[in-house]
């Protein structure tokens, strides 16, 4: 069962990353429950107990809005991400909700072909282990505290 | 079964990457069926439906030739790759052939110790799920559209 | 059983990386048996059969000493690592000890937010497959032969 939950979390993560990296952003909110929490923060802020983060949403509708805004405005320089994820660490499971941590690395490629390390860190997740698992909470805690451009796409 | 197929694909990928990264290039064609297709292309060309790519082969013999040429000529600067792969996304399975996508990141180390991000992208694969699985088709779609040197080793 | 051993090794690796990356260094020696061997070396030295390496320990007590020294001295610039690991390649298993290789990539983030590729390579491991698996031997073979700063944290 632990091995099974691990593979289900790993598959969820792989599908999540693929939706973002393949520019199917409209699918991204569908990885969350309606009353979800999604935060991008830094290790420093997270240690200090600051809840707000660089990006913050507490419903799937806010994630939909964010995607719509990205599509409408499109003010950011064309770029794509490539998430490379580690194996989830399963911290616990209660009432059908798993608590897990997953390391991530995001490489960004700009339209002209330049490629750089964009972000590294770990996801702190609570996942509803339904037939199709969904994120109840995903906090992306970034090791790096500076971003050299507008944090545009979801992590 | 899905979990089992996933692990078999992940193991195949790990062995494939190790053969290249450990400079056992002669083993590389052995990961493909005889009548295989191997392509390295860019996301841009792939979206445009261009089949040719930067590197193109439609038989295992062509892969053998490529390795022999690399060993003979040896004109490229000494370098090694390190593939870091994500979990495969299993897209389907029919007639014993799995369709899958796997994200990759390749870090290159030059002889003098310089290390850089060389390529990021995803493999689009069709895999014969035999006792020892083999690639029927592997298309390496790179996010980055420029390479700062001759694309020498296989991805 | 092979799939099971693979997942156990992958989980061990994930927990190992997390202890280092989350600055819980005191837990790091606990991933090894008492009479362990831990080495950081380069691909060049490893090929040449040089056993010493950049870092070398042959007991868990030496690993404890290393952590204590790191905590006391704290002379190195504040930094954190993020390990991104590939799937282990299981090379064999005898008398409850698995032989495996695992590719790694380590991204380093400095206190001011600078992020760089710090190390890439592969672990050569011998793992005691106990209830909680432990490293009998871990040799971190780095592709890169230069480090631009004191090699401080464990790989």
List pLDDT tens digits, range A71-95: 887 655 678 999 999 999 999 999 9
The residue count of chain C comes to: 155
Partners of residue C92 on adjacent β-strands = C99
- Please state the φ and ψ torsions of residue A117, each to the nearest 5 degrees: -70, 120
What is d(CA B7, CA A132) in angstroms, rounded to the nearest whole number? 20
B83: pLDDT strictly greater than 70: yes
Q: Does A80 touch chain B (CB under 8 A)?
A: yes
What is d(CA B115, CA B80) in angstroms, rounded to the nearest whole number? 9
What is d(CA B113, CA B135) in angstroms, rounded to the nearest whole number? 33
Contact C109 A103 (CB under 8 A): no
B19: pLDDT strictly greater than 80: yes
What is d(CA A58, CA A101) in angstroms, rounded to the nearest whole number? 20
What pLDDT, on a 0 to 100 scale, did the predictor assign at position C1?
Answer: 43
Name the E strands within C24-149: 32-42, 55-57, 79-85, 89-94, 97-110, 115-128, 134-142
A3: pLDDT strictly greater than 50: yes
The pLDDT mean for chain B works out to: 90
A2: pLDDT strictly greater than 80: no
Instruction: Spell out the domains of chain A, with CATH numbers in brackets.
Output: 2-142 (3.10.450.50)
Q: Does B85 touch chain C (CB under 8 A)?
A: yes
Runs of H (alpha helix) within A22-152: 43-47, 60-73
Q: Does B80 touch chain C (CB under 8 A)?
A: yes
Option in C3, C86, C121 nearest B7 (CB): C3
User: Which H helix or E strand runs over B20?
Assistant: helix B2-21
What pLDDT, on a 0 to 100 scale, did the predictor assign at position C128?
Answer: 97
List the pLDDT tens digit at each of the 155 positions of chain C: 456 889 999 999 999 999 999 999 999 999 999 999 999 999 988 888 877 777 889 999 999 999 998 888 765 567 899 999 999 999 999 999 999 999 999 999 988 888 999 999 999 999 999 989 999 999 999 998 766 545 678 89
Which of A85, A113, A119 to mutate against chain B (most B CBs within 10 Å)?
Answer: A113
Q: Does A5 touch chain B (CB under 8 A)?
A: no
What pLDDT, on a 0 to 100 scale, did the predictor assign at position B1?
Answer: 43
Which residues does chain B have within 8 Å of residue C141's beta carbon, measured at their own beta carbons?
A: none
The pLDDT mean for chain A works out to: 90
What is d(CA C73, CA A82) in angstroms, rounded to the nearest whole number? 38
List pLDDT tens digits, range A16-43: 999 999 999 999 999 999 999 999 999 9
Residue B4: pLDDT band (50, 70, 90) is confident
What is d(CA C50, CA C70) in angstroms, rounded to the nearest whole number? 26
Among chain A residues, CA nearest to C112: A145
What pLDDT, on a 0 to 100 scale, did the predictor assign at position C92?
Answer: 95
Over its C-alpha atoms, chain B yields an Rg (Å, rounded) of 15
Helix (H, G, I), strand (E, B), or coil: what is residue C138? Answer: strand
What is d(CA C25, CA A7) in angstroms, rounded to the nearest whole number? 28
Name the E strands within B9-155: 32-42, 55-57, 79-85, 89-94, 97-110, 115-128, 134-142
What is d(CA C38, CA A13) in angstroms, rounded to the nearest whole number? 32
A1: pLDDT strictly greater than 50: no
Q: At what angle do helices B2-21 and A2-21 cross, to 10 degrees?
A: 70
Contact A43 C4 (CB under 8 A): no
Average pLDDT over residues B101-117: 92
**Cβ(B31)–Cβ(B154) under 8 Å?**
no
What pLDDT, on a 0 to 100 scale, did the predictor assign at position A109?
Answer: 93
Which residues does chain B have within 8 Å of residue A80's beta carbon, measured at their own beta carbons?
A: 43, 143
B103: pLDDT strictly greater than 80: yes
User: Which H helix or E strand runs over A53?
Assistant: none
**Distance (Å) from the C-alpha of residue A79 to the closest C-alpha of chain B?**
10
Residues of C (26-55) whose Cβ lies below 8 Å from B: 43
């Amino acid at each position: 069962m632990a091995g099974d939950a691990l593979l289900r979390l790993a598959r969820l993560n792989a599908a999540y990353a693929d939706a973002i990296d393949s520019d199917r952003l409209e699918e991204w909110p569908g990885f969350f429950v309606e009353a979800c929490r999604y935060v991008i923060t830094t290790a420093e802020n997270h240690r200090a107990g600051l809840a707000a983060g660089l990006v913050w949403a507490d419903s799937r509708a806010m994630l939909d809005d964010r995607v719509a805004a990205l599509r409408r405005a499109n003010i950011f320089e064309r770029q794509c991400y490539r998430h490379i994820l580690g194996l989830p660490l399963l911290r616990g499971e209660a009432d059908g909700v798993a608590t897990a941590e997953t390391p991530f690395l995001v490489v960004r490629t700009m339209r002209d072909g330049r490629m750089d390390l964009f972000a590294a860190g770990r996801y702190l997740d609570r996942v509803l282990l339904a037939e199709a698992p969904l994120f109840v909470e995903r906090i992306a805690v970034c090791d790096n505290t500076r971003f050299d451009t507008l944090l545009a796409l979801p992590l």
